[in-house]
Amino acid sequence: MADLAYALLLIGVFVLLALGVRGLEKL
């Protein structure tokens, strides 16, 4: 259960980083 939550947290951080990079590219 803890492993699943940790995996979801890593995926969430990765998605936020990807969106941030994509947002900076638009600028």
CA atoms within 13 A on the CB side of 5: 2
Q: What is the pLDDT of residue 17?
A: 98
- The SS3 assignment for 5 reads helix
- CA–chain centroid gap for 2, Å, is 18
Range(s) of the domain holding residue 8? 1-27
As a whole number of angstroms, the distance between CA 9 and CA 7 comes to 5
- Pure H helices in the chain: 2-26
**Number of domains comprising the chain:** 1
Q: What is the pLDDT of residue 26?
A: 87
- The list of the chain residues with pLDDT below 70 reads none
Q: What is the pLDDT of residue 13?
A: 99
